[in-house]
């Protein structure tokens, strides 16, 4: 079991993944965070017809004879009201967004007009097309506006709505089973006896997976017994598309997960050269992909973000890109280590500082701040250096 | 109605807001995205007792007589198993996370030991305390680990779980009523007649508000009639804590919202010096705060992000901070304008580019990319300049 780089781990996972979910139609209003299974192609022009960019008067430019020549106001066109063709030699009162009547080629903003209700005096008239937004200017019929694989954001739903689409084709939510192992784990609300600790990974992972749009199937804590673990993993392989466990895959004698997964499928233990987070297992249980995260909560958190997330997104069919770190000024000194390090950090207008107990296994280090400094293997960081930071928000 | 800066608009809103929601107890597992109403203070030490940082052997350092002196293995302590006091002159097999037995003061990692099951030979022993994580090292009983006002993230739930807490005190979700006005609006799925457009703001705003953790009360589209608008706003003021509308607050003759709000409470129209997004209304309807966003979808999107969001977070009792722009290299040239501009942008490893139709009212400009370049009033941007970018993800 040699050490591999994060890049190699991600590459191996990428090569072994495929989209595990089918498609379904849902209502647009249920679409937030869902993943498009088909492109969205506009069936309409936006705007659908030439319309007015201003409140003012629509006319045929050549009908204007000068600032003293009054034009009869022959109609009034509000947004949403279909106009009549423009009577020759007249002007139409028109409002922003309203359709330009046939026969008009120009809109003059109201500030340049004087009107008495019956007729209007117009100071000056622009070129044909002035203050008119032409049909299809923004989106032409047949344009692909969103592609399959897009995780839908609020503005994407707005865009789809603006094209008149009310049902969309999305990927079924990826079902992810989670289970923890560890005799020492107690549920919050119970009393922790001597040597016992509260199960934090379960709450954290459920929330991370839900946040990413997956359907979580929670198997709780499996007793550290090969028979029990085997039963849980078998059930999980039936009920979920992917299985994620925490704990049980290090080299300790009490870890039975490895042997069980091996008996039901296969498992590879990787030592990924990142800190926190070294031990990581990948394999399958009766055909269902299996990800074994470390038991240490901070390691589980970091490996879930940087290793599990991109893999699960691939299984869900999300076309995601690598997260782009932002550059900030270091407010700390830190020697590099042989492994890539994710230093839990907090950013402010002056720069980025790091939590002073980076070795700690408690989640407090991840809650204290809002992101992580990415320190490359062997890279020494000095106060004032420009460093790479990944805000947690970017992993949402 | 003079022009005010974004900063002044935010300041005015901040001065008029207060937390509008009461508290309630919920289960920790339902806590993602909820807002803490009370501090979380640890009732326990983490770790609860001294425990082992390694798989190895625990002993009293002074019992070791050299590498050839075998020590009896008197017990085996797994994580989660309460140990017996250590028999004098012996060693205990111990695993990572397991409690240190009374009488031991040192753990030696297994790689430095040779054992035959009955007894162990130990190469060398460290100082007292070696490989032991002392009680309370990570979190001391009585420490405040999360403060009221925190919007709970996955890691926060994990941290709270790790302290044994299963029910938390959060703020009730802020109820936000939304309504649009505009004769020209048609729902997706229906057929848009001449001069009509599909209602996109409704879908977009509902998703934004839901994403921010609010309970949305949807009043759909109100007919552009004073009686109807009055009825809708009155109902909204009863059912929601805050009312948000889109459209109907510009100076056009067809906009009745302003007069109606004035008759039911008060309204101030602001021209906020940002682009897109100038017109913005703030007031109250029968005591419920009222925010009037522009009807143009891109303006509604931007004002929702930069003006409505911080105000609503204040009403919800979220202790949020200003969003910190990230610095990136401009891949474009753009003259400054008299107003602060939010240029819809897309970031890549090389820098940030902007959508070429910044004037467009269609949401496509906001879907095309992943954030906005913040261009200060009067600031000219040239290719290669370092500019401020706010990724949309940071507004989640």
- What digits encode the pLDDT tens for the residues A131-158? 998 999 889 999 999 999 999 999 999 9
- Positions of CATH 3.90.105.10 in chain A: 23-46+138-171
pLDDT digits (tens, 9 = 90+) for B24-40: 999 999 999 999 999 99
Mean pLDDT of B232-241: 97
Check if A117 contacts B (Cβ < 8 Å).
no
**pLDDT recorded at residue B319:** 93
d(CA B269, CA B255) in angstroms, rounded, equals 13
Check if B140 contacts A (Cβ < 8 Å).
no
CB contact under 8 A, A29 and B357: no
Query: A3-21+173-316 adopts what CATH topology?
Result: Molybdenum Cofactor Biosythetic Enzyme; Chain A (3.40.980)
pLDDT above 80: residue B68:
yes
Closest chain A residue to B150, measured at CA? A367
DSSP tag of A28: G
**pLDDT recorded at residue A78:** 86
d(CA B379, CA B377) in angstroms, rounded, equals 6
- Positions of CATH 2.40.340.10 in chain A: 326-395
Token pair listed for B290: 């009222």
pLDDT above 60: residue A253:
no
Res. A286 pLDDT band, cuts 50 70 90: very high
Mean pLDDT of A170-193: 91
- Chain A residues inside the 8 Å CB shell of B324: 347-349
**B184/chain A closest Cα distance in angstroms:** 4
**pLDDT recorded at residue A295:** 87
d(CA B391, CA B396) in angstroms, rounded, equals 10
pLDDT > 90: what percent of chain B?
80
pLDDT digits (tens, 9 = 90+) for A187-223: 999 988 877 889 999 999 999 999 999 999 999 988 8
Mutation to test the B interface, candidates A145, A154, A296, A371, most B Cβ within 10 Å: A154
pLDDT > 70: what percent of chain A?
98
Please check whether residue A97 is in contact with residue B299, taking contact to mean a CB–CB distance below 8 angstroms: no
- Report DSSP letters for A114-181, one per residue: EE-SSEEEES---STTTTEE-TTSSB-TT-EEE-TTPBPPHHHHHHHHHTT--EEEEEPPPEEEEEEE
Mean pLDDT of B277-295: 93
Mean pLDDT of A48-69: 92
Please check whether residue A91 is in contact with residue A57, taking contact to mean a CB–CB distance below 8 angstroms: yes
Closest partner residue to B82 among A44, A82, A194, by Cβ?
A194
DSSP tag of A255: -
**pLDDT recorded at residue B109:** 94
Res. B80 pLDDT band, cuts 50 70 90: confident
Query: A51-133 adopts what CATH topology?
Result: Molybdopterin biosynthesis moeA protein; domain 3 (2.170.190)
Q: Which residues contact A320 (CB under 8 A, 6 or more apart)?
A: A151, A310, A313
CB contact under 8 A, B183 and A81: yes
Chain A (238-277) residues lying within 8 Å, Cβ to Cβ, of chain B: 250-254
- Positions of CATH 3.40.980.10 in chain A: 3-21+173-316
pLDDT above 80: residue A250:
no
- Report DSSP letters for B347-358, one per residue: EETTEEEE-S-T
Q: Which residues contact B266 (CB under 8 A, 6 or more apart)?
A: B283, B284
Q: Which residues contact B73 (CB under 8 A, 6 or more apart)?
A: B57, B90, B91, B92, B93, B115, B117, B118, B119, B120
**pLDDT recorded at residue B224:** 80
Query: Which numeric CATH code is attached to A23-46+138-171?
Result: 3.90.105.10
**pLDDT recorded at residue B252:** 54
**pLDDT recorded at residue B194:** 75
CB contacts < 8 Å between A and B, how many?
284
d(CA B145, CA B134) in angstroms, rounded, equals 19
Query: A326-395 adopts what CATH topology?
Result: Beta-clip (2.40.340)
Closest partner residue to A49 among B82, B183, B194, by Cβ?
B194
Give me chain A's average pLDDT, please.
Answer: 93
Torsion of CA A333, A336, A340, A344, to 10 degrees: -20
CB contact under 8 A, B161 and A188: yes
Mean pLDDT of A302-329: 95
Q: Which residues contact B33 (CB under 8 A, 6 or more apart)?
A: B151, B152, B213
**B333/chain A closest Cα distance in angstroms:** 22
pLDDT above 50: residue A70:
yes
**A152/chain B closest Cα distance in angstroms:** 9
pLDDT above 70: residue B233:
yes
pLDDT > 90: what percent of chain A?
79
| Cis, peptide link before residue A320, omega less than 30° from 0 | no
**pLDDT recorded at residue A358:** 86
Phi, psi dihedral angles at A247 (to 5 degrees):
80, 165
Check if B164 contacts A (Cβ < 8 Å).
yes
Check if B119 contacts A (Cβ < 8 Å).
no
- Chain A residues inside the 8 Å CB shell of B204: 154-155, 157-158, 161
Closest partner residue to B82 among A79, A189, A193, by Cβ?
A193
Res. B1 pLDDT band, cuts 50 70 90: low
Give me chain B's average pLDDT, please.
Answer: 93
> ipTM of the predicted structure?
0.91
- Chain B residues inside the 8 Å CB shell of A366: 155, 158-159
- Chain A residues inside the 8 Å CB shell of B185: 80
d(CA B184, CA B192) in angstroms, rounded, equals 9
Res. B251 pLDDT band, cuts 50 70 90: low
Mean pLDDT of B63-76: 94
Rg over alpha carbons for chain B, rounded to the nearest Å, is 31
Check if A102 contacts B (Cβ < 8 Å).
no
Please check whether residue B388 is in contact with residue B341, taking contact to mean a CB–CB distance below 8 angstroms: no
* Residue found under tokens 């019929």: A141
Q: Taking CA A103 as the corner, what is the angle to CA A101 and CA A107, rounded to the nearest 5 degrees? A: 65
Check if A41 contacts B (Cβ < 8 Å).
no
**pLDDT recorded at residue B48:** 85
**pLDDT recorded at residue B79:** 80
**A204/chain B closest Cα distance in angstroms:** 4
**pLDDT recorded at residue A272:** 93
pLDDT digits (tens, 9 = 90+) for B128-158: 999 998 999 889 999 999 999 999 999 999 9
Query: How far out from the chain centre does Cα B74 lie?
Result: 51
Closest partner residue to B80 among A195, A328, A366, by Cβ?
A195
Mutation to test the B interface, candidates A34, A93, A158, most B Cβ within 10 Å: A158
pLDDT above 50: residue B344:
yes
CB contact under 8 A, A348 and B324: yes
Closest partner residue to A159 among B48, B163, B367, by Cβ?
B367
pLDDT above 60: residue A251:
no
């Amino acid at each position: 079991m040699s050490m591999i780089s994060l890049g190699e781990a991600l590459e191996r996972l990428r090569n072994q993944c495929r989209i595990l979910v089918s498609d379904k139609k849902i209502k647009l209003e249920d679409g937030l965070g869902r993943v498009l299974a088909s492109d969205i192609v506009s069936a309409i022009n936006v705007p659908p017809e030439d319309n007015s960019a201003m409140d003012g008067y629509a006319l045929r430019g050549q009908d204007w004879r000068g600032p003293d020549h009054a034009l009869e106001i022959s109609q009034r066109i509000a947004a949403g009201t279909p106009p009549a063709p423009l009577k020759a030699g007249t002007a139409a009162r028109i409002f922003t967004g309203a359709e330009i009547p046939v026969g008009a080629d120009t809109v003059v903003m109201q500030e340049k007009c004087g009107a008495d209700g019956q007729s209007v005096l117009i100071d000056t008239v622009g070129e044909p097309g002035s203050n008119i937004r032409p049909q299809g200017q923004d989106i032409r019929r047949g344009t692909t506006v969103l592609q399959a694989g897009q995780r839908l954001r609020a503005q994407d739903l707005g865009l789809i709505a603006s094209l008149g689409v009310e049902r969309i084709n999305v990927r079924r939510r990826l079902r992810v089973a989670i289970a923890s192992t560890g005799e020492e784990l107690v549920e919050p609300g119970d009393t922790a006896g001597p040597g016992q600790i509260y199960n934090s990974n379960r709450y954290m992972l459920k929330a991370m997976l839900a946040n990413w749009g997956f359907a979580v199937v929670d198997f709780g804590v499996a007793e550290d017994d090969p028979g029990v673990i085997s039963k849980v993993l078998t059930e999980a392989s039936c009920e979920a598309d992917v299985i994620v466990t925490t704990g049980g895959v290090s080299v300790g004698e009490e870890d039975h997960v490895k042997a069980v997964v091996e008996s039901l499928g296969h498992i590879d233990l990787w030592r990924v050269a990142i800190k926190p987070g070294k031990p990581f297992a990948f394999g399958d249980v009766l055909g269902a992909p299996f990800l074994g995260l470390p038991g240490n909560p901070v390691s589980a958190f970091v490996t879930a973000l940087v290793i599990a997330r991109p893999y699960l997104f691939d299984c869900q069919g999300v076309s995601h890109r690598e997260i782009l770190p932002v550059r900030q000024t270091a407010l700390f000194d830190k020697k590099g280590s042989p492994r890539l390090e994710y230093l839990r950090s907090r950013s402010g207008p002056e720069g980025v500082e790091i939590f002073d107990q980076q070795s700690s296994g408690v989640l407090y280090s991840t809650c204290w701040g809002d992101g992580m400094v990415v320190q490359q293997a062997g890279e020494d960081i000095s106060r004032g250096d420009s460093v790479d930071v990944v805000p947690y928000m970017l992993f949402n």
